[in-house]
Amino acid sequence: MAIPANKLSPTQTADTISFIYTDSSQLKIVLKANRLIQFSKNVTEPFTILPNGVNVSFFDEQEKITSTLKANYAIRYDLTKRMEARYAVEVINKNNEKLETEKLIWDEGKKIIYTDAFVKITTATQIITGKGLESNEDFSKYSIKQVQATIQLNNEI
């Protein structure tokens, strides 16, 4: 029995992978995933699925981690250089500010992350919730599109 010609089949699969991205021998990004499934044939745009989660670390010029991103699922599109992270997405920056959402898009070309989904940001002094966010990729400068609540934290005991 022949396999139908229009069936989408992976061109590559791998387990326990690490990608190291450099620019002019400068460490920029380390991406780790437990499973990778790549599709590059019979598709308009080649893409890679990371179905069992992803951990990404971003580095500065001194090769120190500036932020981390983790999610339970991700898909990366090769031509547009966009990665969509989904399910329990968490970004933590060097100031220990934490972003939590269910969907986040990382545009590698523009070096931004954004979403139109619900977001929760926890800082040392407050919790901010809202809908939609745009930030630089290391999550050091961000803006929430529709702020829904700001809760001031009292750390005095």
Question: What pLDDT, on the 0 to 100 scale, is given for residue 98?
Answer: 96
Residues 85, 87, 92, 93, CA torsion sign: positive
Question: What pLDDT, on the 0 to 100 scale, is given for residue 25?
Answer: 86
Segments of the chain scoring below 50 in pLDDT: none
- Domain positions in the chain are 12-152
Question: What pLDDT, on the 0 to 100 scale, is given for residue 137?
Answer: 85
Question: What pLDDT, on the 0 to 100 scale, is given for residue 4?
Answer: 55
Question: What pLDDT, on the 0 to 100 scale, is given for residue 151?
Answer: 83
Q: From residue 57, give the alpha-carbon distance in Å to each of 26, 29, 70, 81.
A: 14, 6, 9, 17
Q: What is the tens place of the pLDDT at every residue in 51-67?
A: 999 999 999 889 899 99
Question: What pLDDT, on the 0 to 100 scale, is given for residue 105?
Answer: 96
In this structure, whether the domain defined by 12-152 belongs to CATH 3.40.50.300 is answered with: no
Tokens of 142: 């961000």
**pTM (2 d.p.):** 0.86
